[in-house]
Amino acid sequence: MFRKHHGQIDHAEYLHLFETGQTPKFLIVGCCDSRVDPALVFDCAPGDLFVIRNVANIVPPAEDRIGHHGTTAALEYGVCNLGVEHVVVLGHAHCGGILSLLQTSGTSNPDSYIDDWMSLVESARASVEKI
């Protein structure tokens, strides 16, 4: 389907990207919400953006090497290997991750991956509630 709709139209561009590799200038940390596609938001061509998507576009703090660090690994790759010049954290309205954070009011379900992930920004929620 992709090749049918896009491959024929931009064949030379895709061939160039295949042969030369990617050299994006922007790294976008965006939400995985299906309604917010960074390439569409910024009207970019393939190869223009290096995109990391996760729940609520969170950039986690650097931590010990124990566990899985997909967002951190992708940031490292974009900056150190691709040499991106700009890092943009792209938020959006009606984010389900942020809504879940606000609804938990600081309580967390130990069996929920989302609650655990959203706990990374608990201090931001607490700060907003003080206002």
Determine whether 35 is an active site residue: yes
Please report the pLDDT score of residue 2 as a whole number.
60
Give per-residue pLDDT as tens, 76-125. 999 999 999 999 999 999 999 988 888 876 567 778 888 888 989 988 88
SS3 content of the chain, % helix, strand, coil (to 5): 45, 15, 40
Determine whether 68 is an active site residue: no
The residue from 44, 95, 115, 125 that is catalytic is: 95
Give per-residue pLDDT as tens, 13-28. 778 888 888 999 999 9
CB atoms within 10 A of CB 89: 13
The residue from 35, 65, 68, 94 that is catalytic is: 35
Determine whether 53 is an active site residue: no
Q: What are phi and psi of 29, to 5 degrees?
A: -100, 110
Distance between CA atoms of 48 and 124, rounded to whole angstroms? 31
Contact between 38 and 91 (Cβ < 8 Å): no
Contact between 71 and 130 (Cβ < 8 Å): no
pTM as predicted: 0.84
The residue from 33, 48, 69, 115 that is catalytic is: 33
Average pLDDT over residues 57-61: 93
Average pLDDT over residues 27-55: 95
The structure tokens listed for 87 are 């890092």
Please report the pLDDT score of residue 95 as a whole number.
93
The structure tokens listed for 118 are 């959203």
Determine whether 95 is an active site residue: yes
Give ∠ CA 37-26-34 in degrees, rounded to 5. 10
Determine whether 33 is an active site residue: yes
Please report the pLDDT score of residue 7 as a whole number.
53
Contact between 62 and 71 (Cβ < 8 Å): no
Q: What are the start-end ranges of the H helices in the chain?
A: 2, 11-20, 38-41, 70-76, 96-104, 113-118, 122-130
